[in-house]
Structure 1
Amino acid sequence: MIRRCSKGHWYDTSTNKVCPHCKLESEKLGIGIQDVEEDDRTISIADVGLSLGDELGAIIGNSVGNPITGTAIPGSMASGEDDDKTISFGFFGDTRQQPVTGWLVCMTGNERGKDYRLHAGKNFVGRSPSMDVVMVDDKKISREKHCSVIYDPKSDSFYVAAESGNLVYLNDELLESTEELEQEDKITIGDTSFIFIPFSRGKRKWKNE
């Protein structure tokens, strides 16, 4: 049950018998907690016109303690700064954006004209949001790993490979094994066609820093 204390703090009565914020303040001031809790009453967030989104927004935006659990919000979650990198909010670890090695440019369907960044290693294509190249609208594309586009830094080469026996066409020919890609090759899966554009090639390479 969510409860609001006499000082306006929100907390969860299932995990805290008294307001953790008031308790902390009273300990600092040497005041008994009973002196500040007598006016507490259980109240619905809806009764005061607050949404859960408003509450969470206030928590993250102001870098304050969590009013529900009484615990502090980690600094990485409270930060909203954008420095042109993909920022981790502390849930999935380091998610800094990898250097681009090339692009797939969609030539058909609802995503026509959209480009998809490629990075070193395997770039999986599918409908799942967890894929590197996400194609939600084409139901003929497998949800997970329909195919992959690979950049191998050691050989400085790109390849395309079918995954799990899915049909993939390279320049309108059925792909029967992993094939090396050349600039402006056409890759077709489902009802979607891509043109491949390399960035890392020859002297134009990313160096480890």
Structure 2
Amino acid sequence: MKLTKCEQGHFYDGDKYPACPYCNTDLQTETAIVQTSEAPAAQSAAPDGPVAGWLVVLDGPARGRDLRLGVGRSFLGLDAAAAPVTLSPDAPLGARQATVVYDDQADAFTLLPGSSQELCYLAGEAVLEPRPLTGGEELRLGSNTLRFVPFCGGGFRW
């Protein structure tokens, strides 16, 4: 890599670009250091492994649908249509509104705050610290209300 500095003070790879890609944005491609297009929306993904519980959407854009929760961490967010989704583990931090954890050794569920600007609410209160889930609790993500339904617990675990 040939580190080059342009007249504006930007550093760039002179082997990769004939001129500064910061000053000449036409030089930026999908392999460029700086991307000018927006990052793709977070993709929903079912957790790997066996199901540990569900969140059922009571109202909102996805009313009647369920989100599968797995063993370990299940990240929650909203898709482009503002419907709740279970996110893949590599989803951007800004998309994660909450996390539901099933700890199979402790046989317990916990709701954790997300890393998004948007908050998750449990029983009408913002989730700002870990909160236990036992079953039947209602969460709110955006304009959606969801009910937690455990599968594991009460003597059953994978």
1:73-99 CA-to-partner distances (Å, cap 9, x unmatched) read: xxxxxxxxxxxxxxxxxxxxxx99511
In the alignment, the residues of structure 2 paired with residue 158 and residue 121 of structure 1 have an alpha-carbon distance, to the nearest angstrom, of 9
Residue of structure 2 equivalent to 1:147: 98
In the alignment, the residues of structure 2 paired with residue 182 and residue 139 of structure 1 have an alpha-carbon distance, to the nearest angstrom, of 24
In the alignment, the residues of structure 2 paired with residue 204 and residue 145 of structure 1 have an alpha-carbon distance, to the nearest angstrom, of 29
**Aligned residue type for 2:121:** Y
1:138 aligns with 2:82: yes
In the alignment, the residues of structure 2 paired with residue 96 and residue 140 of structure 1 have an alpha-carbon distance, to the nearest angstrom, of 14
1:156 aligns with 2:107: yes
Checking the alignment, whether the CA contact within 8 Å between 1:126 and 1:146 is kept in structure 2 is: yes
What are the within-5 Å matches in structure 2 for residues 1-209 of structure 1? 97-127=48-78, 135-138=79-82, 144-164=95-115, 166-206=118-158
Q: CA deviation at 1:184?
A: 0.6
> Cα RMSD (Å) of the superposition?
2.7
Select the structure that is richer in helix: 1
Q: CA deviation at 1:139?
A: 7.8
Q: Which ranges of structure 2 fall in alignment gaps of 5 or more residues?
A: 1-45, 86-92
In the alignment, the residues of structure 1 paired with residue 128 and residue 76 of structure 2 have an alpha-carbon distance, to the nearest angstrom, of 17
1:94-153 CA-to-partner distances (Å, cap 9, x unmatched) read: x995111000000112210101111011100123xxxxxxx4421899962111111011
In the alignment, the residues of structure 1 paired with residue 114 and residue 84 of structure 2 have an alpha-carbon distance, to the nearest angstrom, of 14
Structure 2 CA distance for partners of 1:96 and 1:170, relative to 1, 3 Å: closer
Q: CA deviation at 1:157?
A: 0.5
In the alignment, the residues of structure 2 paired with residue 139 and residue 120 of structure 1 have an alpha-carbon distance, to the nearest angstrom, of 23
Q: Which ranges of structure 1 fall in alignment gaps of 5 or more residues?
A: 1-94, 128-134
Structure 2 CA distance for partners of 1:204 and 1:144, relative to 1, 3 Å: same
Structure 2 CA distance for partners of 1:163 and 1:97, relative to 1, 3 Å: closer
**Aligned residue type for 1:175:** V
In the alignment, the residues of structure 2 paired with residue 202 and residue 139 of structure 1 have an alpha-carbon distance, to the nearest angstrom, of 30
TM-score (norm 2): 0.59
Checking the alignment, whether the CA contact within 8 Å between 2:47 and 2:68 is kept in structure 1 is: no
Match of 1:101, SS state, is: strand
1:10-38 CA-to-partner distances (Å, cap 9, x unmatched) read: xxxxxxxxxxxxxxxxxxxxxxxxxxxxx
Select the structure that is richer in strand: 2
Consecutive aligned runs of 4 or more in structure 1 exceeding 6 Å deviation: 139-143
Checking the alignment, whether the CA contact within 8 Å between 1:147 and 1:166 is kept in structure 2 is: no
In the alignment, the residues of structure 1 paired with residue 84 and residue 51 of structure 2 have an alpha-carbon distance, to the nearest angstrom, of 27
TM-score (norm 1): 0.45
Q: Which has the higher contact order (CA 8 A, sep 6+)?
A: 2
